[in-house]
Amino acid sequence: MIRFIRWFGIGVLVMLSGLQHLQADDSSTTLSELNALLSRAAAYEYGKDRTALSQMDSLIQSALRSPGQTKAVEKSLIRFLESESTQAGKQFACQKLSVVGTDVCVPVLSRLLKNENTFDMALFALERNSSSRAGAAMRKQLANAAGNQKIGLIHALGHRKDEKSVGEITPLASDRNADIARAAVVALGDIAIPKATSALWSMLPAAETSLKVQILHSLLRCADGARIKGRTAEASSIQESLMGSQYPATIRRAAFGGMCETHPEKMQPLLLATLQGNDPELKTAAIQQIQYAKEASFLKTLAQTIPRQDAAHQLQLMAAFSEMKARNVLEEVTGQIESTNPDVQMAAIRAIGCLGDAGSVKRLVAIASEGGALRETARQALDVLPGQPVDSAIVSGLSSAKNGPVKIELIRSIGERRIVSAANQVSSFVSDPDPAIRLEAIRALGQIASSDRMQELVDILVQTTSPQERIESKKAVAAAALRISDPDLQVKTVLLNAGAVKDAPLKAAFVEILGKTGNPKGLPCILGALKDPDADLQKAGISSLSAWPTADPMQELRDFSRSAKDEQLRMLALRGYVRMIDISTLADEEKADRFREAFQASTEWQIQRTVLTRLNDLDSMTAFRLLAAGLDIPTLKSDAEDRILRWTDRYFKKDPTAIRTVLQKIADTSEDPENVNSAKGWLIRLGKEMK
């Protein structure tokens, strides 16, 4: 019922919105039109033509500009409610009275309140009527109501903040009906006057656990209500009591937050005293309030308590300072790196990533270069340290670094931070005697090199003899190429070198790079790889074509999958062909035909399963027959069943006999009880439709 009442509220807002362009007519004309419309509305039923109701909305909205007309409208609506109108019509009138109603309409609404069929609509109107007579009528009915009606009245009186109802509502908190008792407690919290607060305190000791929690929440609302009304002493008294250790942590924290809001002038000493104390729950509450204490010097004072906290509150404090970007507490946070608790150490490093500056670079690099559990956290912090001075500190550090691991971390950070200006410096380490430094320099160049360094990167790829360096330099060339917007320039250097090299693995690397770019200008070179006798080069070509951003290589992959002698390469090409079909713009029936072809050509059930997953969006009986074929393959049977059952309605319209045959097969042979029941259900339903 509560949801029903709220629905009324949404409805009235919608129906009375807009319509501001209409001008008020002569009073007698407006009322005459309204009465005529009310006569039509008397027969209105839910779901029928709402024209008369919409026109009444317009007239009532117009009348609201004139107090005299508003009273006349109210009287017309009262007469309407006293007539033999439909339930739907009465509901509409009550909605209007919730807006224009005064104490004049209370008697008729009170009568409706006594009728089970009109109770909800009458309560909706009375709850929103500011007249004292409305509250009196609801209080009177409360004594006679039961069940959901009593609950609705209690909530309505609470929403009205009806102070006179506290005496009637308080005893209901002891009602044997748990929902009534809970509604009474909620309403007392809504009313939030001293009498309601006293009643809540008095019932707290003997209350059952579930109701006790609601009482505590209502007391919090009483404190909030008192604060809003300016009764700060009353509010703080409630909040201070609820901060007691005998209450649940959530209540205590909320009370602490309320105390800070009630007395903002006392918040700083309260936060400091709490963090210096020994109450862990209130410490958490205090940390949650730090975001409202933005004075830099005070935050510094709070940060100085970090070493005296337990690990959990150290983590919370550092997270709070990070969220606030409180950079002036960097020294205190950095000190926690020396903690013996790994979690605290990591939290401190993460906080440095938020709060640190150029001066933090050296410390973070040192931690990362030492390896161990803190390395990745330090790297992440180094990568997100804000500001150009940080970039300068990293580049400067690389110039003076003597230690190999330190050089590696600085080069890595240059790449991750995309410090393009350091490209020359990073390039100088590509020929470093230390292979780990060389490898990191190649990675970083791939992240920061511009188009004018493409040949340099290609030369590294061509000249290196290290398998690992070849892998990284291949990635670097591809990454650098992808940053070049000019299509010709993007692949120019790669194509020139791909045509010149004779080494098959190196040529394969260039083919893979061209595949990463997805540049049509590289397609001929990739297609050429399919014709090369070298299996690795063919594989590189197939992989590149299979990942192509468009379906352009579809025919070439299809042809290769038909002609290849190597079964592994044939299946690799077939897998790519399936993807090309899927991303193509072919019509559904043609797609389904090609999927069927790939399905039948495959010797791997994984490819066949991929085909089945691509059939979902195809409106084609060929697709259905392909799914049906999957029922005969054990590794595909379950998937095929699921997809057939999911799209039964679509296929039934095309071929009822075929779908019934397949459904019967699922019902007879499926090992999944849910699929069996689903198939049988469909058979029953479709049998009825066929009749």
Q: What is the pLDDT of residues 126-176, one digit of tens each?
A: 999 999 999 999 999 999 999 999 999 999 999 999 999 999 999 999 999
Percent of the chain exceeding pLDDT 90 equals 82
How far, in Å, are 153, 437, 461 from residue 433 at the CA level? 85, 8, 17
Q: Does pLDDT of 7 surpass 60?
A: no
Is there a domain that residue 641 lies in? yes
Instruction: Confirm whether 151 is domain-assigned.
Output: no
Q: Which residues contact 2 (CB under 8 A, 6 or more apart)?
A: 151, 152, 155
Three-class HEC string of 593-632: HHHHHHHHHCCCHHHHHHHHHCCCCCCCHHHHHHHHHHCC
Q: Which of 237, 246, 238 is nearest to 212 (CA)?
A: 246
Task: Fill in the DSSP letter of residue 518.
Answer: T
Residue labelled with tokens 């997270």: 319
User: Biggest alpha carbon distance in the chain?
Assistant: 101
**What is the CA 338 to chain-centroid distance, rounded?**
37
- The band of 638, judged by pLDDT with boundaries at 50, 70 and 90, is very high
Distance CA 382, CA 417 (A): 9
Q: What percent of the chain has pLDDT over 70?
A: 95
Contacts of 586 (CB under 8 A, 6+ apart): 594
Distance of CA 491 to the CA centre of its chain: 40
Task: Tell me the pLDDT band of 687, cut-offs 50, 70 and 90.
Answer: confident
DSSP per-residue letters across 265-287: GGHHHHHHHHHHSS-HHHHHHHH
Residues 608 and 575: beta-carbon distance below 8 Å: no
DSSP result, 72-131: HHHHHHHHHHTSS--HHHHHHHHHHHHHH--GGGHHHHHHHHTSTTTHHHHHHHHHT---
Last residue of a domain, one of 117, 144, 171: 144
Site of tokens 């259905």: 624
Q: How many domains does the chain have?
A: 2
- What is the C-alpha separation between 362 and 349, in angstroms, rounded? 13
- Which residues, in sequence order, are CB contacts of 73 under 8 Å at separation 6+? 31, 34, 59, 60, 63, 96, 100
550 lies in a domain?
no
Amino acid type, 152: G
Q: Please report which confidence band the pLDDT of residue 15 belongs to, taking 50, 70 and 90 as the band edges.
A: very low
Question: What's CA 64's distance to the chain center, in Å?
Answer: 42
Average pLDDT, rounded, for the chain: 91
Please indicate, yes or no, if residue 414 is contained in any of the structural domains. no
Confidence of residue 647 (pLDDT cuts 50, 70, 90): confident
Q: Which domain holds residue 135?
A: 1-144
pLDDT digits 0-9 by tens, 219-272: 999 999 999 999 999 999 999 999 999 999 999 999 999 999 999 999 999 999
User: Does residue 567 form part of some domain?
Assistant: no
> Is the pLDDT confidence value at 26 over 50?
no
Q: Which of 115, 144, 173 is the last residue of a domain?
A: 144
Domain end point (choices 82, 117, 144): 144
H-helix or E-strand spanning residue 618: none
At 689, the pLDDT band (50, 70, 90 cuts) reads low
* Residue 325 CB contacts under 8 Å (≥ 6 apart), including other chains: 354, 355
pLDDT at 536 over 60: yes
Q: How many other C-beta atoms can be found within 10 angstroms of the C-beta atom of residue 371? A: 9
* pLDDT for residue 655: 85
Q: Cα–Cα distance between 140 and 134 in angstroms, integer?
A: 10
Residue whose C-alpha is closest to residue 510's, from 525, 490, 521, 520? 525
In a domain, 39, yes or no: yes
pLDDT at 690: 56
- Cβ neighbours of residue 520 under 8 Å, at least 6 residues apart? 487, 552
Residue-wise pLDDT for 400-436, tens only, equals 999 999 999 999 999 999 999 999 999 999 999 999 9
Domain-embedded: residue 687:
yes
Within a domain: 13: yes
Cβ neighbours for 526, distance < 8 A, ≥ 6 positions apart: 511, 514, 515, 541, 544, 545, 553
